[in-house]
Chain A
Amino acid sequence: EAQVTQNPRYLITVTGKKLTVTCSQNMNHEYMSWYRQDPGLGLRQIYYSMNVEVTDKGDVPEGYKVSRKEKRNFPLILESPSPNQTSLYFCASSLGGGRFTDTQYFGPGTRLTVL
């Protein structure tokens, strides 16, 4: 089944404790992206990757890091999480190849709480 998977689905942590949220897709998509969703603010892009070893900032990148060492995986790293990073996070992927119009497919989400 074609899908985007994320782990963990739920995470409660404390301020300053480094964490990684994994994202994997099995559709051979070139483009991958991370979003956060907050009430009243909608979905906002954190980082994206056009292909392996190519990443760039989205609209709200502060406090996050990403890496793209393999085509299928795109982990989101919070080096020193803070309470304002409590949110619902989604990974998405699309065919890419420079076509901005491609449909993005989303993972099931990771609900992160930073105490």
Chain B
Amino acid sequence: EDQVTQSPEALRLQEGESSSLNCSYTVSGLRGLFWYRQDPGKGPEFLFTLYSAGEEKEKERLKATLTKKESFLHITAPKPEDSATYLCAVNPGRRALTFGSGTRLQVQP
């Protein structure tokens, strides 16, 4: 059974304190790993797609990396506006994404 596990469930950082969010996955055949940001009461906002182990993508203070078993979302020198829930999803070759439960990130000034 396809499974996506995100850790930690919640993370509180001070502004400027870099950290990483983890997404572990078990799928029969990965066709893509997606990171989304979700603000309270809003729809998930697309951040990155990674397709193969070793791939990395960056956007402002965020950097996503992918191995054969997990993905990391690195947040460098975060700001309060980076506070949100970050969702990881995998495409196991079906017509649906399998989502993790998310990591709630709070960045305090």
Contacts of B94 in A (CB 8 A): 100
> Among residues 76 to 115 in chain A, which have CB atoms less than 8 Å away from a CB atom of chain B?
90, 100-101, 103-109, 111
A101-B32 CB under 8 A given contacts A33-B96, A45-B97: yes
Mask of B13-26 contacts with A, CB within 8 angstroms, 1/0: 00000000000000
Contact among B42, B49, B87 for A101, CB-based, below 8 A: B49
Contact B31 A105 (CB under 8 A): no
Q: Does B8 contact A (CB under 8 A)?
A: no
Mask of A41-61 contacts with B, CB within 8 angstroms, 1/0: 111110010100000101100
State the interface size on chain A (CB cutoff 8 A). 25
Mask of A1-42 contacts with B, CB within 8 angstroms, 1/0: 000100000000000000000000000000101000000111
Contact A109 B41 (CB under 8 A): yes
Contact among B41, B49, B99 for A43, CB-based, below 8 A: B99
- Nearest 7 pairs of A and B residues by beta carbon: A106-B43, A45-B96, A43-B99, A101-B32, A42-B99, A42-B101, A106-B44
Query: A residues bordering B, Cβ < 8 Å?
Result: 4, 31, 33, 40-45, 48, 50, 56, 58-59, 90, 100-101, 103-109, 111
